[in-house]
Amino acid sequence: MDNQSSKSGVVYLVGAGPGRKELLTLRALEVLDRADVVVYDYLVSQSVLQLCQPSAVLIDVGKQPGRPTNQSDINELLVDLASKHRYIVRLKGGDPFVFGRGGEEAEALKAAEISFEVVPGVSSVNGAPLFGGISLTHRGVAQGYVVVTGHGRFGERLTYDWDALHRCGLTLVVLMGVAHRAEISEELRRVGMDPLTPTAVIYKGTTAFQRVLRTTLSELGALQVESPAVMVIGNVAELDFSWLHTRPLFGLKAVVTRAVGEDRLSRSLEELGAEVVRLPTISISNPSDQGESLHGALERIRSYEWTVFTSSTSVNRTFDALGDLRRLGGVKVAAIGSGTKDTVLAYRVGVDFVPTRYVGETFIEEFPYPKDSDNKILLPRAKVARDVVPMGLRKKGWNVEVVEAYETSHVIYDKIDLITKQDLVLFASPSAVEGFHRSFGAALGQVPIGVIGPITAEKVKELGFTPAFVSEIYDFAGLVEATKLWWVRNRKSGMF
């Protein structure tokens, strides 16, 4: 239960982890879901920010080269926001209290009598080495580790007891030390640490940009590396338990344009190592008649011989409205596509017909003819959709009733810079392509495009662009497989 003061909102100091959204805690997800305002740092990833509610106000206070942010200003901002909003999330990279200055923010909130909660996060201390294949402790090699910051206050030299750091014999982990790497190397060698001590630097650990550079202590100062990076100094740095880079889509930064809630494609890509930015170009809402037509048709459900589903959304909307699935009785079910079929099966309902190719034209060609002209088909679908299926069924002699199960609209964005930083944009429908083009226009041609089949590919070409690849199997599994082939081929050719 939240300990909320009667005169202010609650501020949550939340650790966002080192980059990947999967490393967030369940509590972090809970408070992000309710946040009215999110105050975030520079290193918080877009994939994490996309977990916020669309209505949440996002405030960037990240410290960047050329754009310093005064910590006292952030403290005052949090206190001020608490007087105006109910739930405020202060989203900090890594863990709030591990070199994150979260303690200073907690002090300011406490002094102002603002209720707050600290939500731990995975620190880059652990996250970066783990994703880089380095164990900070290892039997017979290192019995523990020491963590220090490599950032000198006001740019001054570091003032550690270097001899103690050397003599302890533990793994040394340095955060924010890239600018002082030569100094760190020099001081440790000065107090007697072996110049050949194994050293590793993990750049942007856990992300698609991750690189692991292995060197020695003496060569650390001359190593070409940028921030953010974690340095690991000690014998464990020559161990290699790498795993992330073995995933076939490691390094790929992809935009998925599926509607909110339809993220099976994203999950499949992420499991293969890709870093996914979800940018839904379609919003799904209730039907314009508030479901009156669908409910009316379902009252007569047993008068239909078939119910034909063209999307997973149409399945969910129909079965939710139907309630008791026993009402289907002997009505047969057809699905266009494996994803739609799987959604039907998830309701423990059988599927009687699926075309060999997941497009409307093949569906019409392979679907059976009616026994007589009174045979009826119920086709619940989006308010605006291609007419290939209903027209084709009618030409075959079926009595088709099309009902609106949901309505789609395009989501408009202005994040062109976000798009151009990605390696690939994936589309699973012509409407997603159209929505993306409405937001980004010519930017559609600045990033390679992958599409699920010929119908979607045609829409891309209609707008004047050429897909980088078209999946030969027109479902999510086929699109993922085509993405893997494209990525491996281009990685080998040196394009990425």
Q: Is the pLDDT of residue 324 over 70?
A: yes
Q: Give the pLDDT score at 373.
A: 73
Which uninterrupted H or E stretch holds 190? helix 181-190
Where does the pLDDT of residue 5 fall: very low under 50, low under 70, confident under 90, or very high at 90 and above? very low
Distance CA(453)–CA(427), nearest Å, equals: 9
Q: Is 293 helix (H, G, I), strand (E, B) or coil?
A: helix
- Whether 414 sits among the annotated catalytic residues: the reply is no
- Any residues with CB less than 8 A from the CB of 134 and at least 6 apart, and which? 200, 202, 212, 232, 236, 237, 239, 240, 241
* CB-based contact 202:129 (threshold 8 Å): yes
Q: Return the number of other C-beta atoms located less than 10 Å from residue 172's C-beta.
A: 24
Of residues 186 and 20, the one with the higher pLDDT is 186
The full DSSP string for 211-250 is: EEEEEEGGGGGG----SSEEEEESGGGG-----GGGSTTT
Q: Is 147 helix (H, G, I), strand (E, B) or coil?
A: strand
Distance CA(57)–CA(88), nearest Å, equals: 10
- Whether 194 sits among the annotated catalytic residues: the reply is no
Q: Give the pLDDT score at 154.
A: 66
> Which of 60, 63, 396, 484 is an active site residue?
63
- Any residues with CB less than 8 A from the CB of 463 and at least 6 apart, and which? 433, 434, 437, 444
Q: Give the pLDDT score at 90.
A: 97
Q: Is the pLDDT of residue 3 over 70?
A: no
Q: What is the pLDDT of residues 410-420, one digit of tens each?
A: 777 776 677 77
Q: Give the pLDDT score at 4.
A: 46
Q: By CB neighbour count within 10 A (0-12 exposed, 13-18 middle, 19+ buried), where does 387 fall?
A: exposed
Q: What is the pTM of this model?
A: 0.78
Instruction: For tokens 């080998």, name the residue.
Output: 492
Distance CA(36)–CA(263), nearest Å, equals: 24
> Which of 21, 41, 193, 341 is an active site residue?
41
* CB-based contact 257:435 (threshold 8 Å): yes
Least confident of 28-42, 204-218, 420-434: 420-434
Domains and CATH numbers, the chain: 10-122 (3.40.1010.10), 126-243 (3.30.950.10), 253-281+411-492 (3.40.50.10090), 288-408 (3.40.50.10090)
* CB-based contact 109:32 (threshold 8 Å): no
- For 67-81, letters b (16+ CB in 10 Å) and e give eeeeeeebbebbbeb
Considering only the C-alpha atoms of the chain, give the largest distance between any 2 of them, rounded to a whole number of Å. Answer: 94
The full DSSP string for 386-417 is: -SHHHHHHHHTT-EEEEEEEEEEEEPP---HH
* CB-based contact 18:94 (threshold 8 Å): yes
- Any residues with CB less than 8 A from the CB of 382 and at least 6 apart, and which? 311, 313, 314, 404, 405, 406, 407, 408
Distance CA(84)–CA(460), nearest Å, equals: 45
Least confident of 71-85, 128-142, 434-448: 434-448
Least confident of 135-139, 218-222, 266-270, 443-447: 443-447
Q: By CB neighbour count within 10 A (0-12 exposed, 13-18 middle, 19+ buried), where does 53 fall?
A: exposed
Q: Give the pLDDT score at 65.
A: 57
Where does the pLDDT of residue 47 fall: very low under 50, low under 70, confident under 90, or very high at 90 and above? confident
Where does the pLDDT of residue 386 fall: very low under 50, low under 70, confident under 90, or very high at 90 and above? confident
> Which of 21, 92, 95, 176 is an active site residue?
176
* CB-based contact 398:370 (threshold 8 Å): yes
Least confident of 226-240, 268-282, 295-309: 268-282
Distance CA(150)–CA(75), nearest Å, equals: 24
Least confident of 47-56, 358-367, 473-482, 486-495: 486-495
| Mean per-residue pLDDT over the chain, rounded | 90
- Of the candidates 297, 273, 294, 295, which has an alpha carbon nearest to the alpha carbon of residue 382? 294
- Whether 395 sits among the annotated catalytic residues: the reply is no
Q: What is the pLDDT of residues 165-209, one digit of tens each?
A: 999 999 999 999 999 999 999 999 999 999 999 999 999 999 888
